[in-house]
Structure 1
Amino acid sequence: MLSRQLKTLVFCFLAILTLAGSKLAAQDEGFDFNSLIIDAELYIWNRISDALDLFRGGLAGGPALGAEVAVTEYVQLGAYASYEKGVAFPHFIFPFWLVDYYEKKEPFLEFHEGRYATASFGAWRTEKFNDSAETNINRHFPRNKWDVRVQLHAFILSAYATFRPVEFIDFLGGFVGWDYSGDDQRLDYVATRYPADQFGRGLCNVLFGIFEVPVNIMRVTATEGDLPGLSKGLGLGIWRFICREVVGVVELVTFPFGWQPIIQPEYIFPLNQNMNWRTQRPSFHKRY
C-alpha cells in the first residue's frame, strides 16, 4: 500500500515538474533548458570551490626555529626566525587543486625563498625579511586580516595552516545566492556551446581510451625502435589512457557546457596523425 502511494506521489511530482517546465518555456521564448542545467552544475561547482577556500596551507624547508599563533591580526603570539624555501598551496586536498587551476589564469601555488624573522604579541607585530623574490612579506605564507593562523618552524621543516572566516561567510552565503567574495563562476550567455560534441567526445574517451596504450607502443616503435616502444611507448600509452578516462568522465558530467576539447587530438584516431598530443584548460568556442 505504501509503495503504491509513493509511486503516485512520484508520478504527480514529475507531472507537475513537466507542466511547470512547459508553462515556463511557453511564457518565455528565451527559456534554455541547457543553460538551466549549466546553472545547476555551476552552483555545485561554486559550493565545492567555496568549501575548499576555507583553509590554506604551506610547507617549507631550511634552518628555522619558532612558532606563531594568530586569531586575526589583533590577537597574535609568537616569534620565529628562518632561512627557507617553500610553497603555499590552496588547501589540503591536492586532487582538488584542479578547481583552483581551472578558475585562475595565474599559477595557484605561491613560492617563496629568503630570510624571515618575526615577533608578535596582541596587535603588535615586528618583522624583518630578505625575500629573494623581492616581494613583500605576504609571500612568506599568505595572511589576511581576519585569518586564524598556526605557523610552526622546527629545525629544517616549516609548516603553515590557516582558517579563513571571510571565506566561511562566503561559503554559507553561497547557499542562498549571496557571493560575498565575488569569486563564483557564472554562466556566460555569449559563449557558443556544442554540448552534443562534448558528450560524444567524452563517451569516446571513456570507451576507447584504452587504445592509447597500443597506439603509442606502435607509434614509438615505428619512430624509435622496439625497446623504446616497449618502455617509453608503454609509459606514454598508460599515462594518456588515464588522462582520457578522467577527462572523458569530466566531459560527460559537464557536457551541457559544450566547451572545446580538453585533450588534443580530440579523438584517439584523428585524421591528422601528426597532431601533437596535449592537454589544455576548458575553453568556450568563440563567435567570429
Structure 2
Amino acid sequence: MFEETLLFLSAIVTIFVGFVRADCSFGDCHRRETCADRPWTESREGRNDDRVRIVDAPLGSDIEFLCNYCGEKDKGQARFWYTSHRMLYSNGTLAGRKEVVLGMSDPMESNRVYMTLDHRLVIRNLTSSDTGRYSCSGLETDERLEYALDLLPANSGGRPGADVVAVTADSMAGWTQYESRYLAPVTKAFPIVWKMDVDWDPWGPCDGCAGKRYRRAACRVCFDVGIRMACRSIALPATVMTVSPGLAAKLSTLPDFLLAETCYAYCQVSNKRRLPKYRNTFVLEEGSSLTLVCAEATADKKLSHNVPS
C-alpha cells in the first residue's frame, strides 16, 4: 500500500512545463534579468578606467535590473533608481544624474518603466533614449549599484549590425581564433582603440533536444580615453564618427562569440514551434511538501502544467 502511495504521488508531481520564446535569440529574450557585479576599476598609467557592468539589449526588447549584487538577495530597505548620461565626467562623477521617472498606472505591469516590490527596475520596449547609466541606492548607505545600458540595433533587416550572426565554437581554441580574426585587427588599425575585449554571460539553459548549452562572449571596445562600450551600440557612431568614421562601420559588423558545451537534459518536442519542454520527476513521502520553480519563466510568460490523474 505504501509503495502504491509513493507511485501515485510521483505521478502527481511529474509536471511538464513549456513556454514559447518567440523570436528569442541568445541574449535577446523578453525581460532579460541582470544582477550587478561588485565595483572594481582597472588602473592604467595612473588612471582608473570605468569597469561598470555593460548590459546590451536590442531596441524594442525589455530589461530588468536587480538592485542587488549577483548571488545576493534584496535587503528589503528603501531603494531609489537614478539614471545619467552614458559617459562620465573627467573626474569620474556621473553626468546629468537624475531619478528615474516611474510609471504610476495600475496595474504596475502596464507601465513601460516601473519598479517591483523587491526594487527591480523594469524597462519595456527599449528606445534609444533609454541609453545611459542606471544606479540603485538607498537612504542609509552611500553604496551604489551601477549598470551601463547600451542599445543594439533591433533584430530586423535594413540596419547595420542588426543581423550579425555570432561565431560559435565547441572549445576555447575557437575563442583564440575569434580573438585573432575579429578583435586584434581593430586594435591595430585604429589608434583611438586601447584594446578589444569581451564580457562573458553565464551559461544558458541546456537544450535537451540538441544536447547543447551556450555561453556568450559579448564584444566590447575600450577607447584610449577610458570609455568602454558594446561594439554594436547605436551610440557608437555619434561617439567616434568625428574622430574615426571607419571605426563605427567596422564595429557594427563584429559578431559576438558563442561557446557551446555538451549537456544532458530531457527532450520532449512541443506542439508549438517544436520547442523543448522540461520535465522533472519527484518521489515524495506522504504528507511532505514540494515547491516547484520554473527558473526561466517570468510573470508574462505562458506556462502549461500537465498533471496526470
Q: Please classify the TM superposition score into its range, dividing by the shorter chain length.
A: under 0.3
Q: TM-score, normalised by structure 1?
A: 0.23
Q: TM-score, normalised by structure 2?
A: 0.22
Higher relative contact order by CA 8 Å / sep ≥ 6: 1 or 2? 2
